[in-house]
Structure 1
Amino acid sequence: MRGELYAHQKYYQKAYFLACKHLNHCFIVLYILGFRFTYNPEVISEWDAVSAMVEWVGVMTSAIVPLAAIYFQYKLDKGE
């Protein structure tokens, strides 16, 4: 029982680490592409550009989610 609990904790630690790593990579890519957080009220926000970014995020999410579901189902079936 104790070893099984430890295995789950190890799995969640690995999943948390990978999620943070991928989120960090996304931030780096967005920074390289020129995305910046602006807090200056004098700066005019380009809402068409924001809309385009949101559309691309939606496209990427809709492509990644089914692949992740297939991958995790494969891992569950395999017994890992």
Structure 2
Amino acid sequence: MPTINQLIRHPRVKPRTKSKSPALNNSPFKRGVCVQVMIRTPKKPNSAQRKVAKVRLTNGQEVISYIPDEGHKLQEHSVVLVR
């Protein structure tokens, strides 16, 4: 337990929070182009066929994004908005 003088000299430092979506660079949305549309299966206790797309964003980074809802019309070279 630090003393009052120690806390005055060196105040407590709050831990920095990591971004949940570092590829977006603090912007709410990013535009991107589909590189590949594929079906992935989840890890062990779950089972499904998840529809995902590999997307190249405008900042040059590639991310794998989930395609929501039933049925989609995404193809390679489709322009998408990533949230």
TM-score after normalising by structure 2: 0.22
Which protein has greater RCO, CA pairs closer than 8 Å, 6+ apart?
Answer: 2
| Greater strand proportion | 2
| Greater helix proportion | 1
Structure with max Cα Rg: 2
TM-score after normalising by structure 1: 0.23
